[in-house]
Structure 1
Amino acid sequence: MTPARTHAAGMLLIHGAWQGSWAWDAWLPELAARGWTARAVDLPGNGAHPSRDAGLVVSLQTYVDALTQALAAFEGPVVVVAHSGAGVPASQLAEALPERIACLVYVAGMMLPAGMGYAELVDASVADVPDASGIAPYLQWSEDGSATVVPVDAALDIFLHDCPPDAARRAAAKLTPQQESGRTVVTTLSAERFGRVPRIYVEALRDRSVLLPLQRRMQALVPGAIVRSIDCGHVPQLARPAELATLVCETLASIGIDSAESSASSLFHSLTTGTSP
């Protein structure tokens, strides 16, 4: 049975902890080449807008408010792509505005059930998953314990080990302090709202941060996502941007979701050539 078509207005790309909108720079051209309009957002408190964030204490609602504002730039439903820790605010955004989201795509993301923090998942896994803590043992804490930073060497080894070396070094140097209040948020989700949004989970098979066994435990805890695999580490959008773009776009197409831009182009082609779109 052919799925009903959804013409998404574009993609909203959400970065994970310690990162910024720059984390998607290598992926944006790949999406554009496949007919997708995509916008990457800077989450509050990530250091991109110091004057805006002065004195800000980040919460889950802070993130949802910023993402809601970002959605307003699109006319129509949007595919939301969340990397790593961005999976938590992305899930809560779907709970708040399910009608605005065509699909949630988690890229090695934290697709956690309501009320569960990632640290709780790690604590439940350390006994049988070696190195389940990922980056945590390497973090450097601020004096007051309110924020962490990732040392460059740890970022290169845990996050970026299979990325092009020059690109990996540039990315590691761009990482900024992360408020702990934004890293420990937990969701409040319902089957009626979050549960009605289609989901895709792209698991990273060689991830050293969100290890594969933990990715698969989240898939079991929050069932219903279409699962796809990519043979790389924690940052597929930098390690294998073309492969990730193909994987995501083809999976979206398989469930009847395409970009409004590519759909319009296909319709124009059919009207001018007399062929079916």
Structure 2
Amino acid sequence: MTEFVLVAGAWLGSWAWDEVVPELRAAGHGAHALTLSGLADKRGVPAGQRTHVQDIVGEVERLELRDVVLVGHSYAGIPVGQAAERIGDRLAHVVFVDSNVPVDGESFLSAWPSGRAMVEASMAANDGFWAPLTEADCEGQGLTDEQIARFVAGSTPHPGATLSEPAVLARPLGGLPATYIKCLLDGDEPMGEAAELLKSEHWRLVEMDTGHWPMFSQPRELARILLGRAGGAS
């Protein structure tokens, strides 16, 4: 039995996977949606980027999980990628869902120069937090009005320290068994480091014809892709 550990991106918590988890469990696997410190039901808990790495590693160890498929969406790809190398032989596969990937010595903000000023301005106006998106920000991503409303209502401000702390990698990510899911409404191709990593023989690219939040817009299709990675399949 594969154990999926699911981590959503900025502003979101474990609730974002509510329509994916039942699909994974119905197929006979474990599914553990994780809220990172400082977000959703853990709002108010102090958090940096290293805290989020430990959140993930700690959950795997606490539950004594093996044959683990780590799933990181958007921002969460950064802590998930670091956690993947820290859990050793417990790891079966890593899935990056339209996500950032960690770069040793780089932070979320330093690796996104075109967006840095916008995020820092939001943090300056919101006591060090990145303010959640509005309904207008979510348009054009394959979401229904109901899905957008759910996204906006559930989002909480994102702790700024998680965006500015640099990632720490012991070895290149290209050696890990990984799948990168590119959501085409959010750009035709993986950008930057993700594109380089996909040149590795250990990485695979899967495309979804939807927007940046497939756990809302196409949860069954996303679950089907994840199930294809059960047992560490490539």
Report the TM-score range of the alignment, normalised by the length of the smaller protein.
0.7 to 0.9
Q: TM (normalized to structure 2)?
A: 0.85
Counterpart residue identity of residue 87, structure 1: G
1:177 aligns with 2:154: no
Does structure 1 retain, via aligned residues, the 8 Å contact 2:40–2:154?
A: no
5+ long unaligned stretches in structure 1: 1-6, 127-132, 258-277
Q: Which residue of 2 aligns with 1:262?
A: none
Q: Against the structure 1 CA distance between its residues 49 and 121, is the aligned structure 2 distance closer, same or farther, given a 3 Å change threshold?
A: closer
Shift in Å at residue 15 of structure 1? 1.3
Q: Against the structure 1 CA distance between its residues 105 and 151, is the aligned structure 2 distance closer, same or farther, given a 3 Å change threshold?
A: closer
Q: Which residue of 2 aligns with 1:95?
A: 85
Question: Deviations 1:179-205 (Å, cap 9, x if unpaired)?
Answer: 11112333221337x554311100111
Equivalent of 1:113 in 66, 87, 103: 103
Measure the CA separation in 2 of the matches of 1:17 and 1:86: 7
Shift in Å at residue 108 of structure 1? 0.4
Question: Deviations 1:151-172 (Å, cap 9, x if unpaired)?
Answer: 42344327xx312321220111
Counterpart residue identity of residue 239, structure 1: S
Counterpart residue identity of residue 84, structure 2: A
Q: Which residue of 2 aligns with 1:150?
A: 132
Equivalent of 2:59 in 65, 70, 79: 70
Question: Deviations 1:174-233 (Å, cap 9, x if unpaired)?
Answer: 1101111112333221337x55431110011111xxx444x2333233342211100110
Does structure 2 retain, via aligned residues, the 8 Å contact 1:81–1:106?
A: yes
Equivalent of 1:30 in 11, 19, 23: 23
Shift in Å at residue 134 of structure 1? 10
Question: Deviations 1:233-262 (Å, cap 9, x if unpaired)?
Answer: 001111111111212222x259637xxxxx
> Percent identity over the alignment?
25
Does structure 1 retain, via aligned residues, the 8 Å contact 2:104–2:169?
A: yes
1:244 aligns with 2:222: yes
Q: Which residue of 1 aligns with 2:233?
A: 256
Does structure 2 retain, via aligned residues, the 8 Å contact 1:112–1:222?
A: no
Q: Which residue of 2 aligns with 1:268?
A: none
Does structure 1 retain, via aligned residues, the 8 Å contact 2:100–2:194?
A: no
Counterpart residue identity of residue 199, structure 1: A
Q: Against the structure 1 CA distance between its residues 135 and 146, is the aligned structure 2 distance closer, same or farther, given a 3 Å change threshold?
A: closer
1:219 aligns with 2:181: no
Q: Against the structure 1 CA distance between its residues 198 and 165, is the aligned structure 2 distance closer, same or farther, given a 3 Å change threshold?
A: same
- Greater shift after overlay, 228-237 or 142-151? 142-151
Measure the CA separation in 2 of the matches of 1:183 and 1:24: 22
Q: Against the structure 1 CA distance between its residues 184 and 170, is the aligned structure 2 distance closer, same or farther, given a 3 Å change threshold?
A: same
Counterpart residue identity of residue 73, structure 1: L
Q: Secondary structure at the match of 2:221?
A: helix
Counterpart residue identity of residue 112, structure 2: V
Shift in Å at residue 137 of structure 1? 6.8
Q: TM (normalized to structure 1)?
A: 0.73
Instruction: Indicate the RMSD between aligned Cα atoms, in angstroms.
Output: 2.8
Does structure 1 retain, via aligned residues, the 8 Å contact 2:48–2:159?
A: no
Q: Which residue of 2 aligns with 1:261?
A: none
Does structure 2 retain, via aligned residues, the 8 Å contact 1:140–1:151?
A: no
Measure the CA separation in 2 of the matches of 1:139 and 1:154: 19
5+ long unaligned stretches in structure 2: none
1:135-146 matches, cutoff 5 A: 136=118, 140-141=122-123, 143=125, 145-146=127-128
